[in-house]
Structure 1
Amino acid sequence: MPAYLIGDIDIHDEAGFAAYRAPALEVVRRFGGRTIAIDKAPLTLEGDWASRDMIVIEFPDMEAIRALFASPDYAPLIAARQASARSRLIAVQGLA
């Protein structure tokens, strides 16, 4: 069953985040992740959610997301992301 990683990112260091992005997406692909949406100006339809950068990545299952975050290849990239942006990340189960 697919699972989705949803990121709400506030980038405060564009150069640092740019250096993170390409290697991170490569590691994501190795875990079966496929970027399905990136939006620098998402449309807020209700509430006071003020996001600037959103990403949605589809994975084969929730275990693939867990494996990505436990991977020694992704660990230094997490630190790079956290140094250049404030991230709010959630994983949700897709429908079969």
Structure 2
Amino acid sequence: MSVYIIARFKIHDRSEYDKYSAGFPEVFKRFDGKLLSVDEDPMVLAGTWDDTRSVIIEFPSKESALTWMNSDDYQAIAKHRNAGSTVSSILVNALDA
């Protein structure tokens, strides 16, 4: 069953975060994920939104998502994400058709 990672970032050090962004495509392409959305100007429909960036990623399974997230290559660039931003993320299941 497909899963989605939904992440919100509050970027406080753009230079450090940009190091993460620069390394992300090379690492991500080695896994089975599909980048669905990256947005720094979303339309707020309800509530408040003070985050800098939102990202939605699809993976074919929970296992593949966690393999990517826990890989040494991803963790090597994630240190820049963590140094340059505060992130909140969740993993949700797709609807079972």
SS in structure 1 of the partner of residue 36 of structure 2? strand
Equivalent pair of 2:9/2:53 in contact (CA under 8 Å): yes
For 2:93, the equivalent position in structure 1 comes to 93
TM-superposed CA distance for 1:26, in Å, is 2.4
When the two structures are superposed, what TM-score results if normalisation uses the length of structure 2? 0.87
Quote the residue 2:19 is aligned against. Answer: 19
Q: How many residues align?
A: 96
1:19-59 Cα deviation digits (max 9, x unpaired): 11132232222121111111101112112343331011111
Rounded Cα–Cα distance in structure 2 between residues aligned with 1:4 and 1:11: 22
* Paired letter, 1:94: A
> Gapped runs of 5+ residues in structure 2?
none
**Matches of 2:63 and 2:93, distance apart in 1:** 10
Q: Which amino acid aligns with 1:90?
A: I
Looking at structure 2, the residues matched to 49 and 21 of structure 1 have their Cα atoms a distance apart, in angstroms, of: 22
TM-score by length of 1: 0.88
- Give secondary structure in 1 for the equivalent of 2:57: strand
Q: Which moved more, 1:17-26 or 1:4-13?
A: 17-26
How far has the Cα of 1:7 moved from its partner?
0.9
Aligned 8 A contact 1:40 1:53 in 2: yes
User: Is 2:45 the partner of 1:45?
Assistant: yes
Amino acid at match of 1:92: V
Matches within 5 A, 1:72-83: 72-83=72-83
Moved over 3 A (4+): none
